[in-house]
Chain A
């Protein structure tokens, strides 16, 4: 899968290309906005990794011109700016995600994969976290390569958790997505499904676990090797 990396620091861009290649991406690296425009005109990329501090043009202006011509290629913004007033600027201009330097390579890869897994994007058909994966079209759940039978509601909950693996998913999101606006939800309906799902994951030997963050939501995290 081809990724365009727009970053003016030659050393960093080389390391990023190397790291992305290890995770199965092939990265084209350009050092300024002008070259980025040329590359985008010549070729279609699965995603763009965009540094905001470019020598010839502000990264945000480049992002606006990409979005301005109706190009919806997922854009992951990189920035060294993380001031109190900076945080949301990148997302407002049309970025899909936002990563502050320095970042772990696996975080960059995970974020890229999450972007590509969004409905309609290239990786949307299979979701994987730890040794658990879900075929989104066939609705089949695999734990450590073995098919497991989950109910439709449990599969739906697992899908939401897998799409945001490693991050807390607000409880409200489950309620909205599972029960829509019908409003006919018992206050602990989600808890009941999560409880059952948690047990089934444990019974199936999953390396991931659903943690309850009381008052906020649920977190699918990988169990540490020792556990």
Chain B
């Protein structure tokens, strides 16, 4: 049954086989039953006829014999062109005493009619004959009365009914069975509706909706264990996601509180040379902690299917956010390209962090006096252009991996920023790449999926 994956198709396939077998066997069985019933009725009628003939038998006055005295009004039934019945009266030795037949032969060719109460049929001039043997004691002797009927006679209709029954029954049986098949398919489809509904529910479950469970109500009993097991698996997954979120939150608290104390302590120190260097150390440490926390959160981050963000606004925010840092290091920053909203499929805050990290990276690699340009295109693409040394072709893949950095000796150069960008791009079904900028520098291109405005 591996060829039929759906329950409905299995049912249909088996049902068609069953219909084939039933539509042959059922008419045959019905035909046989009807035939038997018709024969029984026929014989009863013949027996009644035999008793009528028996009533015409009278013992001879001298004893030892019988005479058959058929009233004239009954004669046409037994002889002539319209004779319905043939009869023969035999003595206990099987000798024919009277008969309607011209050849004086018994109706039944059986040697010993005594043992057969109802003989059945025989061939006679191409026609079937059905008949009965009825014993009758007259005086002290036993006689056998045989009554038969030619089935080819035009007034005998019982066998015609039986004969015409088979094709009719076949033609009625087949549509009824097909109708039954259709009804069964409908029943099955309705029975599987809860399963279909559960599939739709399951399809909507994601990391942002781990609380959703499949309904066990109205589910067919056979499927309930599966649904139950799936729900239990979802419970475990939800617990996992919750643990991940709690871990990130705990780590944020555990790492940032001591840094906050350290920073506050340094800030309230008197202005001495070590204070400035400590501040720088704390700023660098803080950035790394923030990036590690971002990475930890983004590992489990999935963008909600329907959410969208204005990429132009996100880039404006990121540029505004980073501008003080750029200005502080004597660099110019500009936002160019489209000035109207650019709607993309995505989470605004996550995209903000990606663009912010790209800008931060660009500021770090652009020499003082240089310009960083963030260019937004209507197709959901952001390009961040710097005036740094560019990225050698050999490094263009590794640069997006964690903790990669070109110059490990250079202070303040961390590789986590681009890993965050990569993760955000992946979560959005987007892509990040880097090329040389014509005239020097690098161009980082973040491609996102455009969407319609909300």
- Interface membership of A216, Cβ < 8 A: yes
* Contact present for A19 and B328 (CB under 8 Å): no
A33 to chain B, nearest CB (A): 17
Known: A80-B257, A214-B336. A15 touches B347 (CB 8 A): no
* Contact present for B316 and A104 (CB under 8 Å): no
Interface residues, chain B, with chain A CB atoms under 8 Å away: 248-249, 252-253, 256-257, 259-265, 267-268, 279, 282, 286, 290, 293-294, 297-298, 301, 316, 319-321, 323-324, 327-328, 332-337, 339, 347, 349-350, 353, 374
Cα distance, A143 to B181, chains bound together (Å): 94
Cα distance, A221 to B324, chains bound together (Å): 7
- Interface membership of A213, Cβ < 8 A: yes
* Contact present for A211 and B327 (CB under 8 Å): yes
* Contact present for B323 and A100 (CB under 8 Å): no
B292 to chain A, nearest CB (A): 12
- Interface membership of A124, Cβ < 8 A: no
8 inter-chain pairs at a CB distance below 8 angstroms, sorted by A residue, are A16-B264, A80-B256, A80-B257, A82-B252, A102-B286, A106-B267, A170-B320, A215-B339
* Contact present for B333 and A103 (CB under 8 Å): no
CB-based closest 7 A-B pairs = A215-B335, A214-B334, A105-B267, A15-B264, A168-B320, A102-B260, A101-B260
The residue on B at minimum CB distance from A213 is B323
The residue on A at minimum CB distance from B294 is A84
B1 to chain A, nearest CB (A): 48
Considering the complex, which residues of chain A in the window 72-104 have a beta carbon less than 8 Å from any beta carbon of chain B? Answer: 80-85, 87-88, 100-104
Known: A19-B264, A104-B267. A167 touches B320 (CB 8 A): yes
Which residues of B have CB within 8 Å of A81?
249, 252-253
Cross-chain pair count, CB within 8 angstroms = 116
* Contact present for B294 and A105 (CB under 8 Å): no
Among B252, B290, B332, B337, max chain A CB count under 10 A is at B252
Which residues of B have CB within 8 Å of A224?
328
Q: Contact size class for A? A: 35 or more
Given contacts A12-B260, A84-B294, 15 further A-B contacts (CB under 8 A): A9-B261, A12-B257, A12-B261, A81-B253, A82-B293, A87-B349, A101-B256, A102-B259, A103-B260, A105-B263, A170-B320, A214-B333, A215-B337, A216-B316, A216-B335
* Contact present for B249 and A102 (CB under 8 Å): no
* Contact present for B257 and A101 (CB under 8 Å): yes
* Contact present for B249 and A213 (CB under 8 Å): no
* Contact present for B290 and A82 (CB under 8 Å): yes
B288 to chain A, nearest CB (A): 12
The residue on B at minimum CB distance from A166 is B324
* Contact present for A85 and B349 (CB under 8 Å): yes
* Contact present for B323 and A216 (CB under 8 Å): yes
A66 to chain B, nearest CB (A): 23
Cα distance, A167 to B256, chains bound together (Å): 24
